[in-house]
């Protein structure tokens, strides 16, 4: 997974390992346009972490050095990292000199792509297996400035090098357009991660009991919501057994397979993250939830009414905060539930649903992006 600095042939141009990865096949419409700082782009790329990972949109997070302007893809140390698009390695450890790769600054890679865009891969591994010794070389053989790479080609491994030594292992990923403007790759990453959306055909089922409920479903549960879950899993290609409303071993195995396929926590429980993934795929509530979580949406507070408030009440209830029935009226129960949620997520408990609360709710639900069918 990585090599000792004392034995690595750093400048070797040995044959390069190619990692199979599915490339999102959208038209590269954004490549030639102009962009603003932090603009969300529809840029087709191969997902850079070839293994289990998790992430939320952290582009605008405040850090000691200022805005983050990157996405952190959390993954186990040693997980392969691949090039997101074809291009040429421009820098290794910030050096353009293939004969001097600055081992003291290990480990990072920058790639200039064939369309002029640029991707940065930072905090690659610099530790020997099972240690935090900083003595390894987490960049693949032959990855030096001037070398051409293909999309999906191995360039290194996830780690915690540089100023990430005190953090869990992750890949710090940045994307720049052809004019050098840093853009937000969050939606592009989500599209690359899942490939073409696997959508349940309209009319297959409405799953009203499943998506309209607020209880966690697990082995041993019974009811119409369990039957809905079984119908969904069957439609999605996972065998849960008959849609009899009984959450037995077949349903448990099918749900775990679905969770693994969607890169969710594999626990056999249909909770908030799993329900959101289902609503996303069926197209029934995904767009509405995205609207609720939009940082630019209206501030929700006591005395207001609307469909967005009903959706907030529903998802607070799903997370275990009793906001009352989802009637779309922001009353005392909803305010109290929101305050408890804000307190538990280290926010100012003011009972108003604004940008920080929207981000906290997205994190709690495991929402990455909504994919339209």
Instruction: Output DSSP code: residue 249.
Output: H
Residues 91 and 170 placed together within one structural domain of the fold:
yes
Do β-strands 108-113 and 182-183 pair in parallel, antiparallel, or remain unpaired?
unpaired
Residue 302 and residue 325: Cα distance in Å, rounded?
15
CA dist 203 to 21, 229, 235, 237, 252, Å? Answer: 32, 15, 11, 16, 25
Residues 163 and 228 placed together within one structural domain of the fold:
no
Residues 162 and 309 placed together within one structural domain of the fold:
no
How many helices (DSSP H) and strands (DSSP E) are in the chain? 9, 13
Burial of 336 (0-12, 13-18, 19+ CB in 10 A): middle
Judge whether 313 lies within some domain: yes
Contacts of residue 230, Cβ cutoff 8 Å, sequence gap at least 6: 240, 241, 242, 243, 244, 245, 251, 254
Give the rounded distance of the alpha carbon of 36 from its chain centre. Answer: 22
Residues 120 and 260 placed together within one structural domain of the fold:
no
Ranking 67-71, 335-339, 364-368 by mean pLDDT, the lowest is 364-368
> Taking the alpha carbons of 125, 168, 354, 326 in that order, is the dihedral positive or negative?
positive
Judge whether 91 lies within some domain: yes
* Closest of 240, 233, 234, 215 to residue 225, by C-alpha: 215
Long-range contacts of 301-304 (CB under 8 A, 24+ apart): 301/330, 301/335, 301/351, 301/352, 301/353, 302/330, 302/331, 302/332, 302/334, 302/335, 302/351, 302/352, 303/330, 304/330
**pLDDT reading at 68 higher than 70:** yes
Residues 283 and 159 placed together within one structural domain of the fold:
no
Residue 85 and residue 201: Cα distance in Å, rounded?
32
**Among 14-18, 35-39, 63-67, which range has the highest average pLDDT?**
35-39
Q: Which of 176, 196, 216 is the last residue of a domain?
A: 196
Q: Compare 184 and 15 and report the one with higher pLDDT.
A: 184
Residues 22 and 87 placed together within one structural domain of the fold:
yes
Residues 239 and 185 placed together within one structural domain of the fold:
no
Q: Residue 302 is part of a domain; what is its CATH number?
A: 1.10.101.10
Q: Give the model confidence (pLDDT) of 332-344 as tens digits.
A: 999 999 999 999 9
Percent share of the chain, pLDDT over 90? 36
What is the extent of the structural domain holding 250? 208-365
**pLDDT reading at 301 higher than 60:** yes
State the pLDDT at residue 365. 67
State the pLDDT at residue 282. 63
Residues 50 and 163 placed together within one structural domain of the fold:
yes
**Mean pLDDT throughout 165-184?**
92
Residue 60 and residue 235: Cα distance in Å, rounded?
38
Q: What domain count does the chain have? A: 2
Instruction: Output DSSP code: residue 343.
Output: H
Phi and psi, residue 252, nearest 5°: -60, -45
Do β-strands 170-176 and 71-74 pair in parallel, antiparallel, or remain unpaired?
antiparallel
Q: Which of 155, 170, 196 is the last residue of a domain?
A: 196
Q: Which of 162, 196, 230 is the last residue of a domain?
A: 196
Angle between helices 355-365 and 332-344 (to 10 degrees): 70
Q: What is the mean pLDDT of the chain?
A: 79
Residues 214 and 180 placed together within one structural domain of the fold:
no
State the pLDDT at residue 249. 96
Residues 38 and 166 placed together within one structural domain of the fold:
yes
* Closest of 86, 78, 141 to residue 115, by C-alpha: 86
């Amino acid at each position: 997974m990585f090599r000792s600095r004392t034995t690595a042939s750093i400048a070797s141009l040995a044959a390069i390992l190619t990692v199979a990865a599915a490339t999102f096949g959208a038209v590269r419409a954004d490549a030639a346009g102009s962009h603003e700082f932090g603009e969300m782009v529809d840029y087709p790329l191969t997902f850079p972490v070839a293994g289990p990972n998790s992430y939320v949109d952290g582009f605008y997070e405040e850090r000691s050095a200022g805005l983050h302007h990157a996405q952190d893809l959390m993954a186990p140390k040693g997980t392969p990292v691949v090039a997101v698009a074809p291009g040429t390695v421009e820098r290794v450890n910030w050096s353009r000199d293939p004969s001097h790769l600055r081992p003291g600054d290990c480990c990072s890679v920058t790639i200039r792509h064939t369309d002029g865009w640029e991707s940065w891969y930072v905090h690659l591994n610099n530790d020997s297996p099972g240690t935090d010794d900083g003595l390894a070389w987490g960049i693949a053989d032959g990855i030096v400035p001037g070398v051409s790479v293909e999309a999906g080609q191995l360039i290194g491994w996830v780690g915690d090098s540089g100023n990430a030594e005190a953090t869990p292992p992750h890949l710090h990923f940045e994307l720049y357009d052809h004019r050098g403007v840093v853009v937000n790759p969050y939606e592009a990453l989500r599209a690359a991660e899942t490939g073409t959306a696997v959508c349940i055909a309209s009319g297959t089922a409405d799953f009203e009991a499943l998506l309209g409920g607020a209880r966690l479903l697990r082995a041993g549960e019974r009811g119409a919501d369990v039957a809905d879950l079984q119908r969904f899993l069957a439609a999605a290609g996972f065998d849960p057994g008959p849609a009899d409303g009984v959450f037995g071993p077949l349903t448990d195995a099918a749900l775990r397979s679905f969770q693994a396929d969607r890169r969710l926590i594999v626990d056999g429980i249909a909770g908030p993250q799993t329900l959101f993934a289902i609503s996303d795929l069926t197209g029934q509530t995904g767009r509405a939830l995205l609207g609720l979580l939009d940082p630019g949406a209206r501030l929700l507070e006591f005395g207001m009414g609307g469909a967005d408030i009903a959706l907030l009440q529903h998802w607070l209830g799903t997370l275990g905060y009793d906001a009352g029935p989802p009637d779309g009226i922001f009353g005392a129960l909803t305010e109290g539930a929101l305050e408890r949620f804000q307190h538990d997520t280290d926010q100012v408990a003011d009972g108003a649903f604004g940008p920080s609360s929207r981000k906290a709710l997205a994190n709690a639900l495991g929402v990455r992006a909504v994919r339209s069918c």
